[in-house]
Amino acid sequence: MIVRVITVYVKEEYIEEFKTATIKNRNGSIREPGILRFDVLQDTRNPGVFLLIEVYASEEATEAHKETPHYREWKEKVEPMMAKPREGKAFIPIAPTDSSEWE
């Protein structure tokens, strides 16, 4: 399992549009066989800052995600909404470690 945590910085005027586009991407993503969870969070102090927490079954699943129509549509749609480039980091789960507990 691999957990990708992406921080996205959104221009204030695009916050609602970004949410709509990201929920759509999330709803497509959770149907991918290699994606266990895909959570979208908004910073309470900085409402233009979002975290995407993407839980993948494998490294291959992270690559497969980038080829999906919902990801490509999202990426193109949100590009002009970014206040600065997004930051992504990869993590391994320490707890829980059983993939059934991530679904």
Q: Using CB under 8 A, list all residues that contact its own copies.
A: 2-3, 5, 19, 22-23, 26-27, 38-45, 50-51, 53, 89-96
Q: Which is nearer to its own copies, 40 or 64 (CB)?
A: 40
Cβ distance to its own copies smaller for residue 23 or 83: 23
Structure tokens at 21: 């586009």
Nearest to 68 by CA among 22, 32, 98: 32
Are 74 and 21 within 8 A, CB to CB? Answer: yes
- The distance of closest approach from Cβ of residue 58 to its own copies in the complex, given in angstroms and rounded to an integer, is 14
The alpha carbon of 40 is separated from its chain's Cα centroid by a whole number of angstroms, namely 7
Which of 4/64 has CB closer to its own copies?
A: 4
Indicate the SS3 state at residue 29: helix
Least distance CB 4 / its own copies (angstroms): 10
